[in-house]
Amino acid sequence: MPRERTFIMLKPDAVQRGMTGKIIAKFELKGFKLCAMKLCQPGKAHMEAHYADLASKKFFPSLVEYMISGPVCAMVWEGDDAVATGRVMLGATRPADSLPGTLRGDNCIDVGRNIIHGSDAVEAANAEIALWFSPSEVLSWTNHSAEWLYEMPEPKPVATKPVYAESAQNAALDARLSNCMYLGGNQPSQEDAKVSAAIKAGEQDMPTLKYPNAFAWYCMASKFQPTRTAAFAAGAAAVDDAEDDLDEDDLFAEDSDEAAAAEAKDLAASLRGKAFEAKKKAAAEAAGKAPLEAKSLIIYEVKPVDDETDLQVLGKRILAEINQDGLFWKTEFKTAPIAYGIEKLIIGATIIDAKVSTDDVQDKIEEMEDIVQSFDIQSFNKL
């Protein structure tokens, strides 16, 4: 299996200032391995998908417009602790808060022109890599310098072949996905509307698209992946039995039958849960009783602006300042290491779903920008 990967994107200001080579050199000198890179100018729909977690922010429209105003350089870097170390190399979001020696600390002044984006968690990195690159564009290769970078030898990439037989329709889809204009395409509004209508209608047959629009194909791949994988599994009997042992070495395990089955199981469980809640609510209303309020347990990760931030003070400030009906903070919290002596705060809360929006909690925590760099949800469980 490859080492940890992170997604790094040089923003239009970095490309315009001719900093691409300098930044690549920084990551190479650090010892990270470049696995994918493309210079491109993505469309609006693609950039909105990339920054979907900021869609509720007032600056979202201007951010998207700026990010599509010129070319960007998208990259995938690989190495131990690539995500956390990459974020340290970037520096704080606000250049004024970035330490000397970081890319932003040495090369930026304005937060609106902070030259670079980097994934803030492994899960986010995986999602961003999948959004920007097709699987065939992300290479697995052996770095001859690895033995001088790591005490443990670097695993060699294993050649694999498909463990399923594809139908003509699936092969055609894969060909269009790999050959399409992944970050743009023609007539995006017509294509996206067509796919959106098919998804809302719950159709199981893929609509025929005239233009290779990336956003539309991305939606289609997400929508129809379980159906496609089930079709592939049905033809697996025609595949040589020796391929059964390839699963554990599959470099793209998300396409395996096991992953598809797990996804289908999770979806079925979710649908059963929603049906049960609706049935319980209807029964309570029929009996003249108030239905029980749905609750969730959320574990938050709060990253400080620097290693001098007192996490105990940060935790107490969150408990004291962020209060509303339906939000119940856990009085105990803990810390966990990130990298280079910097730690993050782990804090939990129980919320009443109908009364508390996780976006509202996030906004209030991020308003503490004097001591908070970023905020993530570690886990979200229904009670």
Q: What is residue 208's predicted lDDT score, i.e. its pLDDT?
A: 54
The residue type of 86 is G
pLDDT > 90: what percent of the chain? 36
Are the CB atoms for 188 and 212 separated by under 8 Å? no
Q: For the segment 251-277, what is each residue's pLDDT rounded down to a tens digit?
A: 444 445 566 556 665 665 555 566 666
Q: Which CATH superfamily is domain 295-382 in?
A: Ribosomal protein S6/Translation elongation factor EF1B (3.30.70.60)
Cα–Cα distance, 232 to 250 (Å, whole number)? 16
Residue of 46, 50, 117, 144 with catalytic role: 117
Provide the whole-model pTM.
0.45
Tokens of 121: 């968690």
Reply yes or no on whether 117 is catalytic. yes
What rounded mean pLDDT belongs to the chain? 76
The model's confidence at residue 184, banded by pLDDT at 50, 70 and 90, is very low
Q: What is residue 181's predicted lDDT score, i.e. its pLDDT?
A: 40
Q: Is 359 helix (H, G, I), strand (E, B) or coil?
A: helix
Q: What is residue 355's predicted lDDT score, i.e. its pLDDT?
A: 86
What is the number of other CB atoms lying within 10 angstroms of the CB of residue 7? 26
The model's confidence at residue 154, banded by pLDDT at 50, 70 and 90, is low
Q: Give yes or no on whether 5-149 and 295-382 have one common fold.
A: yes
Cα–Cα distance, 16 to 172 (Å, whole number)? 38
Q: For the segment 109-135, what is each residue's pLDDT rounded down to a tens digit?
A: 999 999 999 999 999 999 999 999 999
Domain boundaries along the sequence of the chain:
5-149, 168-259, 295-382
DSSP letters spanning 85-149? HHHHHH--SSGGGSPTTSHHHHH-S-GGG--EEE-SSHHHHHHHHHHH--GGGS-----TTHHHH
Cα–Cα distance, 368 to 144 (Å, whole number)? 45
- For the segment(s) 5-149, the CATH number from 3.30.70.141, 3.90.1150.10, 3.30.200.20, 1.10.10.10 is 3.30.70.141
What is the number of other CB atoms lying within 10 angstroms of the CB of residue 302? 24
Residues 6+ apart with CB under 8 A from 106: 100
Q: What is residue 93's predicted lDDT score, i.e. its pLDDT?
A: 93
Backbone angles phi and psi of 258, in degrees to 5: -60, -45
Q: Is 75 helix (H, G, I), strand (E, B) or coil?
A: strand
Residue 30 above 70 pLDDT?
yes
Residue 303: strand pairing partners: 374
